[in-house]
Structure 1
Amino acid sequence: MKSLNTGSLMNEMSRSVVVEKFGGPEKLLIKKVGIPKPNQDEILIKVVTAGINPADIEQRKGEYLPPTDASSVLGLEVAGTIVEVSGNVTEFKAGDRVMSLLSGGGYADYVVAHKDLSFFIPSFMSFSEAAAIPEAIFTVWSTIFDNAKLKKGEVILIHGGTGSVGSIAIQLAHHFEAEVIATAGTDDKCALCSKLGADKTINYRKENFFALANEYARNKGVDVILDFIGGEYLNDHLKLLARCGRLLLIDCQDANPNIDLNSVIIKNLSISGAVLRSRPLLEKIAIAHRIKRYVMPLLIDGKIKPIIAKIFPLVDVINAHKLMESKNYTGKIILEMTTHG
């Protein structure tokens, strides 16, 4: 093991957010546990910030249980400083600033992460910005580019354009020269989507996204849809897709909708889901390698930037979850470990 002051950690405890009974935000508990030890290929991170994701809310409610080999502590992405690396890790060292994708355990003072799912934080980037990146980047790259193979000149419809995933999706799709349609719930959010690179924005509370998106696509349909809604919009999406169109389901509000399979068959459409947490490690590592090649240079050059909604101290995690459930925010909600208490 290679570490920074490992001896000073021997008697230290790590605060972790756990759920002992499923339910509302008030069920979140902060407990002190021992600091984990990194195994082969792992690094131990002193967490500065952690991103909050919808999966955390669903896990708290008992609607989305972690994989059997994952930590039951909430949190799928963190940013912080390495304090220890396992003996076979050579690309990182104690003291490095990193951001990491996790299968759990991020709402804590310390967490172990796999070296191949970790990235150096650009020198100009804050820990709060860095914690907003891993889950969104992995989700966007694995869906839009790996699954849908979005090409230059194709038209993509991105729902929730000012969310943590949607905002990154707009920027990456724009960078790779797709035509981007984005939806949002206010005029101000639509304006932000335009600033991020959307060619067409639609206020779904006031406008008919189906008609306007189809009109923008010259009534030929769109090629790719990034869908956080599903349910009642599913058949509209199938009608809106062009021949050989691809529907990417990130989340859905109704898991048992009626589906017009004729559209799928006649237009040769494809529908794919997108869950990161349960994917095999080697599959996630392969995605990470492509991110390091194609996306990290954009982050380093400042061409891709996360949006931060609000930063909460760990002790205020209940209010952080309440804000996420209110949906009254833009970008990523962040937890900051700050001082112990």
Structure 2
Amino acid sequence: MKAITIPTPGDPDALVLADVPDPEPGPGEVLVEVAAAGVNRADLQQRIGVYPPPPGAPEYPGLEVSGTIAAVGSGVTGWSVGDRVCALLAGGGYAEKVAVPAGQLLPVPSGISLVEAAALPEVVCTVWSNVFMTANLLPGQTLLVHGGSSGIGTMAIQLAREVGAHVAVTAGSAGKLEACQALGAEILVNYKEQDFVEELDRATAGHGADVILDNMGAKYLARNVQALATNGRLVIIGFQGGVKAELDLSVLMRKRGAVISTGLRARPLEEKAAIVAAVREHVWPLVEAGRVKPVVHRTFPLAQAPDAHRELDAGTHIGKVLLTV
């Protein structure tokens, strides 16, 4: 089969389309013939050599796909050849085929095209596991999402809106903030011109954010803690702003706050399966009802993976960038 390989880590041109052996589904796995794959920042990190796949995962990038089941391994029940699915992966999505643990499969929701479905698994599982399963965002509370126009951000806005929470976002342009507002964000902060701590304090009459979903890490750590409400929860899912920072613990203690950092890719299979099952129970009905939708910025053919990475690197996208096979 064809797959995107990384012979030598580096810039986007390090991504090379090559012939590689077909994967075989092991016990408890299915083989998916890929229709599309999501492009995520983790893939960019893998490309430059700082985020290798976990042990046992395919070496090719790609953390989510959609497609059709081509074969079913031993011990798999509930899935059949020909089923239209999307899937959460530990790697291997930038390829014509990928073997997937059955617990990480989701049916393609009605009303969503097979290609669009590739925009769902990673962002929905990330948002649901962090904002709801871990941070327990409740109706009436305030969620602050950094990078509100990203794939994760656009999904976080919609899901928080659906549970009756208030949503604040940061983004770097008026156009991105308008897109966030159209999805349900109420507090809009242009981080290039405004301080999100001050804006959030003003908009919430001093309450702050009950939950913060942060992709920046070190750069925003101190200000995120300042922005927390009493009993607030800061969930860090990315390090675009670095990995080391100082924190005044007395501020965190006064707020009785929590700082949590989580990852999805390297979690054990049973944990991923539990997250996927929760997503199917709680989120899929919203998608099928048309209340929550994937936001797709642009698609590229698999062979143009370098261009897709350049698009994501440029930071001008709103929603997801996909590769089609």
Residue type of the alignment partner of 1:48:
A
1:171 maps to 2:158:
yes
| Cα distance between partner residues in 2 of 1:232 and 1:70 | 31
Percent identity between matched residues is 38
Greater C-alpha Rg:
1
Partner of 2:60: 73
Structure 2 SS opposite 1:127: coil
1:272 maps to 2:235:
no
Partner of 2:209: 222
| Cα distance between partner residues in 1 of 2:303 and 2:24 | 24
CA contact (8 A) 1:71 1:104 kept: yes
Partner of 1:49: 36
Q: CA deviation at 1:229?
A: 1.3
Structure 2 SS opposite 1:286: helix
Q: CA deviation at 1:103?
A: 0.5
| Cα distance between partner residues in 1 of 2:111 and 2:136 | 31
Write the deviation string for residues 265-296 of structure 1: whole angstroms up to 9, x where unpaired: 22221111121011111111111111111111
- More deviation, 289-298/201-210: 201-210
| Cα distance between partner residues in 2 of 1:180 and 1:320 | 29
| Cα distance between partner residues in 2 of 1:240 and 1:328 | 26
| Cα distance between partner residues in 2 of 1:66 and 1:320 | 20
Residue type of the alignment partner of 1:151:
L
Q: TM-score, normalised by structure 1?
A: 0.93
Q: CA deviation at 1:179?
A: 1.0
1:187 maps to 2:174:
yes
| Cα distance between partner residues in 2 of 1:316 and 1:292 | 32
Which of 245, 260, 266 pairs up with 1:257? Answer: 245
Write the deviation string for residues 113-164 of structure 1: whole angstroms up to 9, x where unpaired: 1111111112321122100100001100111011100111111111111110
1:161 maps to 2:137:
no
| Cα distance between partner residues in 1 of 2:289 and 2:104 | 21
| Cα distance between partner residues in 2 of 1:193 and 1:268 | 30
CA contact (8 A) 2:109 2:284 kept: no
CA contact (8 A) 2:111 2:290 kept: no
Structure 2 SS opposite 1:16: strand
Q: CA deviation at 1:89?
A: 2.0
CA contact (8 A) 1:82 1:95 kept: yes
Q: TM-score, normalised by structure 2?
A: 0.97
* Structure 2: gaps of 5 or more residues: none
Partner of 2:69: 82
* Structure 1: gaps of 5 or more residues: 1-13
Structure 2 SS opposite 1:98: strand
Partner of 2:317: 329
